[in-house]
């Protein structure tokens, strides 16, 4: 087991909760504080204390000194002297010292409450930790608490308490609340990994973490009366009993690999439950349903603890994390799966990254989304074929050149398991800003038969009709969102940019294209009945030149494309010239008069679109937006 690359802050006040006699703790001189302040680098708000054996184990198994204060240290040596732990760095000897008034923790434990007879506080054999439990007894969620309460209130020592079940339960609780993520960054809490995957042989990394934590925990106990000490812990015969529970045996070994427990104890079954099984989501019709990822492969988030998308700082879209697409924004700004897919395909390499975390950099070289530009992002049928989830394939390349591919589902893009926004089957009022009861989502009983788990996708809106009716309104709405924004490539606002500059750098249209596509992808457009992938997949804006008769106006075309790159528009619509004003020299008088009369626009820009008054005004006035976009004539076209 190799833990040497792990950063290991001292965060173990919980080590003293087991009520048996601890080994002699360290003599900690009050006047030596260098180690605590400069080397150990643990959180000041966490009370920490270890006995002697636990500290030795931590020093031997972790890269304890690889922190921001001592990055230049490449080697160190720990040794025992006069009952203290010494650390030698560059031939200088430091003594572990002054860890927050260590004595008080012994007073606060229930050691003295257990028994006044010191002989009852030490172990006579390792079978002390083993007891058989019934499966139904363990499945009671109060099982661990019952043991703890019974142990404390009866004030007695029993061979049944505390045992390895209690120790396992305590460790499991601490993997959930985040303490162990600081110690073992890739230790995946059971709530975030499926039982059948945890039980697989290729989850050996997770098994090793648990084995080591059990060993570390057991070093709290006084084993001085025993002939051999625990040098290793092995979890064996792991089986997934169902979606929430695994069972296994535990062996305690000496330095020669010989078991320290009886054959009967070795056959004792231990259980871990509360594995990731399903999650409940509620829809528009307030129907709750449990969903489960039935993928036989190990998931990317079962290989790497809590993988996340990272974004380039100060990016044009102000995205910081996945929540910015799906929950921590106004209803209007939330993305559909189609919009997020379009965004990833367009910007993954420039703005979005899957970074190898520090604790994996000694092992992993890079993470990639496979076939990003060629259908590598899939709509998943996880939730009644509602297409409100996505599936990626992530290629992990090791430093030794080995590779492996893991699936990654969008509900696991963060720990909250969100799904994407639903779709609108109608554009009668171009109601962009609210979620309506007739939207096409998994929980809308107008389209989904939940009892029979069937989904009906209606015929999509006609692409040409949608284009002719709505495209100018949608474009003018995007300009309001982009107003006064500093644009990349130019470091200017739009009204400061000369149209000649755009001719040289038409990339400015990429951002307009992204915002426009996000709104267009709120609607079901161009799809055949019950064939989601047959509809619109891309929006393309093409630069056609600038208007030679009016200043500050460029000319563009817009096209709607399916997954194969085929246009959904007729020849007339896809070749229509659209005039895009607002650049340097543009006559803003009429536009500004319209703009200043509409207070809701300023509120919209400030992202106050949750305001009911603003929403009502927008729904009723989309046709009255300030006109920065307008239809052009083909003779105005200047082809470059």
Per-residue pLDDT tens for 469-498?
999 989 988 887 777 677 776 788 888 999
* Longest Cα separation, the chain: 102
- Among 34-38, 124-128, 397-401, 551-555, the minimum mean pLDDT is found in 34-38
pLDDT value of residue 430:
63
Residue 283, number of CB atoms within 10 A of its CB:
21
pLDDT value of residue 597:
58
C-alpha count within 13 angstroms, C-beta hemisphere, residue 358: 11
- 225-243 pLDDT tens trace: 666 778 899 999 999 998 8
Q: What is the average pLDDT across 8-18? A: 30
- 332-363 pLDDT tens trace: 678 999 999 999 999 888 888 889 998 899 99
Q: What is the average pLDDT across 532-553? A: 94
Q: What is the average pLDDT across 505-519? A: 90
DSSP 335: P
Q: Collect all residues with Cβ–Cβ distance below 8 Å to 113 and sequence separation of at least 6.
A: 19, 152, 155
pLDDT value of residue 221:
64
Q: Collect all residues with Cβ–Cβ distance below 8 Å to 210 and sequence separation of at least 6.
A: 171, 235
- Output 633 or 208, whichever has higher pLDDT: 208
Q: How confident is the model at residue 561 (pLDDT cuts 50, 70, 90)?
A: very high
Domain boundaries, the chain: 1-109, 125-276, 279-424, 457-636
Q: Is pLDDT at 451 greater than 80 in this prediction?
A: no
410 to each of 290, 347, 457, how far by Cα in Å? 16, 17, 21
Cα distance between residue 273 and residue 247, in whole Å: 9
The top-scoring range by mean pLDDT among 113-117, 212-216, 579-583 is 579-583
Q: Collect all residues with Cβ–Cβ distance below 8 Å to 91 and sequence separation of at least 6.
A: none
- Among 101-105, 181-185, 276-280, the minimum mean pLDDT is found in 101-105
The top-scoring range by mean pLDDT among 309-323, 413-427, 525-539, 600-614 is 525-539
pLDDT value of residue 415:
83
- pTM, whole model, 2 decimals? 0.77
Q: Is pLDDT at 144 greater than 50 in this prediction?
A: no
pLDDT value of residue 528:
95
pLDDT value of residue 316:
83
Q: What is the average pLDDT across 314-338? A: 82
Q: Collect all residues with Cβ–Cβ distance below 8 Å to 314 and sequence separation of at least 6.
A: none
Cα distance between residue 118 and residue 444, in whole Å: 67
Q: How confident is the model at residue 132 (pLDDT cuts 50, 70, 90)?
A: low
pLDDT value of residue 619:
56
Q: How confident is the model at residue 330 (pLDDT cuts 50, 70, 90)?
A: low
Q: Cβ(165)–Cβ(146) under 8 Å?
A: no
The three-class DSSP label of residue 465 is helix
pLDDT value of residue 93:
57
pLDDT value of residue 543:
95
Q: Is pLDDT at 508 greater than 90 in this prediction?
A: no
pLDDT value of residue 262:
84
Q: Is pLDDT at 29 greater than 70 in this prediction?
A: no
pLDDT value of residue 171:
81
pLDDT value of residue 464:
98
Instruction: Describe the chain by its helix, strand, coil percentages, rounded to 5.
Output: 35, 20, 50
Q: Is pLDDT at 364 greater than 80 in this prediction?
A: yes
415 to each of 176, 189, 394, 418, 424, how far by Cα in Å? 12, 11, 18, 9, 27
- Output 235 or 38, whichever has higher pLDDT: 235
- Among 106-115, 158-167, 268-277, 452-461, the minimum mean pLDDT is found in 106-115
- 72-117 pLDDT tens trace: 334 445 555 554 555 565 565 555 433 333 222 222 222 222 233 3
Phi-psi region of 349 (alpha: psi -120 to 50; beta: other; left: phi over 0): alpha
Report the chain's C-alpha Rg in angstroms: 31
pLDDT value of residue 151:
41
- 370-402 pLDDT tens trace: 887 677 899 988 877 788 899 999 999 999 999
Q: How confident is the model at residue 164 (pLDDT cuts 50, 70, 90)?
A: confident
Q: Collect all residues with Cβ–Cβ distance below 8 Å to 473 and sequence separation of at least 6.
A: 430, 622, 623, 625
Q: Is pLDDT at 632 greater than 80 in this prediction?
A: yes
pLDDT value of residue 123:
43
Q: What is the mean pLDDT of the chain?
A: 72
What are the DSSP calls for 107-172, one per residue? HHSSHHHH-S-GGGGS-S-GGGG-----HHHHHSTTHHHHHHHHHHHHT--BTTBS-HHHHHHHHH
pLDDT value of residue 238:
97
Cα distance between residue 237 and residue 266, in whole Å: 11
Q: What is the average pLDDT across 41-68? A: 47
User: Which strand ranges, in their side-by-side order, compose the sheet holding 270-272?
Assistant: 232-240, 246-253, 270-272
Give the residue from 539, 537, 540, 526 showing the smallest Cα distance to 563: 537
């Amino acid at each position: 087991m190799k833990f040497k690359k792990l950063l290991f802050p001292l965060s173990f006040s919980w080590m003293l909760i087991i009520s048996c006699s601890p080994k002699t703790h360290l003599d900690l001189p009050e006047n030596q504080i260098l180690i605590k302040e400069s080397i150990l680098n643990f959180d000041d708000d966490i009370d920490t204390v270890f006995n002697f054996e636990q500290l030795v184990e931590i020093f031997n198994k972790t890269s304890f000194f690889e922190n921001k204060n001592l990055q230049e240290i490449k080697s160190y040596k720990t040794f025992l002297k006069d009952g203290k732990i010494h650390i030698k760095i560059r031939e200088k000897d430091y003594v572990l010292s002054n860890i927050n008034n260590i004595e008080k923790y012994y007073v606060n434990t229930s050691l003295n409450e257990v028994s006044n007879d010191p002989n009852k506080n030490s172990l006579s054999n390792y079978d002390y930790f083993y007891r058989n439990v019934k499966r139904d007894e363990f499945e009671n969620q109060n099982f661990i608490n019952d043991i703890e309460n019974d142990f404390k209130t009866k004030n007695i020592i029993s061979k049944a308490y505390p045992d390895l079940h209690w120790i396992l339960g305590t460790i499991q609780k601490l993997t959930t609340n985040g303490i162990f993520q600081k110690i073992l960054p890739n230790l995946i809490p059971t709530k975030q990994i499926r039982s059948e995957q945890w039980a697989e042989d290729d989850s050996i990394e997770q098994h090793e973490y648990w084995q080591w934590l059990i060993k570390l925990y057991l070093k709290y106990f006084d084993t001085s009366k025993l002939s051999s000490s625990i040098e290793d812990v092995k979890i064996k015969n792991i089986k997934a009993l169902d979606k929430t529970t695994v069972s296994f045996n535990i062996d305690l070994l000496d330095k020669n690999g010989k078991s320290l427990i009886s054959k009967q104890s070795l056959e004792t079954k231990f259980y871990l439950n509360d594995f990731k099984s399903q999650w409940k989501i509620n829809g528009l019709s307030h129907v709750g349903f449990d969903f489960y990822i039935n993928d036989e492969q190990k998931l990317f988030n079962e290989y790497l603890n809590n993988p996340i998308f990272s974004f380039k700082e100060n990016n044009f879209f102000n995205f910081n994390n996945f929540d910015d697409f799906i929950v921590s924004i106004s209803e209007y700004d939330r993305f559909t799966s189609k919009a997020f897919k379009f965004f990833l395909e367009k910007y993954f390499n420039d703005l979005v990254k899957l970074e190898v975390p520090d604790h994996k950099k000694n092992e992993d070289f890079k993470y990639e989304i496979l076939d990003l530009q060629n259908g590598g992002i899939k709509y998943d049928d996880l939730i009644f074929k509602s297409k409100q989830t996505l599936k990626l394939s992530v290629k992990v390349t090791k430093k030794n050149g080995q590779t492996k591919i893991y699936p990654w589902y969008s509900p696991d893009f963060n720990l909250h398991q969100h799904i994407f926004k639903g779709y609108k089957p109608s554009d009668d009022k171009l109601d962009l800003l609210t979620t309506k009861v007739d939207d096409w989502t998994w929980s809308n009983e107008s389209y989904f038969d939940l009892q029979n788990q069937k989904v009906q996708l209606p015929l999509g809106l006609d692409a040409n009709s949608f284009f002719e009716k709505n495209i100018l309104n949608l474009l003018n709405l995007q300009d309001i969102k982009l107003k006064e924004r500093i644009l990349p490539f130019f470091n200017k606002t739009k009204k400061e940019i000369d149209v000649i500059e755009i001719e040289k750098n038409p990339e400015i249209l990429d951002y307009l294209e992204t915002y426009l596509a996000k709104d267009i992808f709120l609607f079901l457009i161009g799809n055949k009945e019950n064939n989601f992938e047959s509809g619109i997949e891309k929006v393309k804006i093409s630069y056609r030149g600038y208007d030679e008769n009016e200043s500050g106006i460029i000319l563009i075309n817009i096209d709607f494309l399916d997954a194969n790159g085929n246009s959904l528009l007729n020849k007339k619509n896809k070749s229509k010239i659209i005039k895009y004003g607002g650049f340097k020299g543009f006559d803003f008088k009429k536009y500004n008069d319209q703009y200043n009369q509409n207070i809701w626009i300023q509120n919209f820009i400030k992202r106050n679109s949750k305001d009911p008054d603003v929403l009502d005004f927008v729904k009723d006035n989309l046709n009255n937006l300030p006109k920065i976009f307008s239809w052009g004539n083909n003779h105005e076209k200047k082809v470059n």
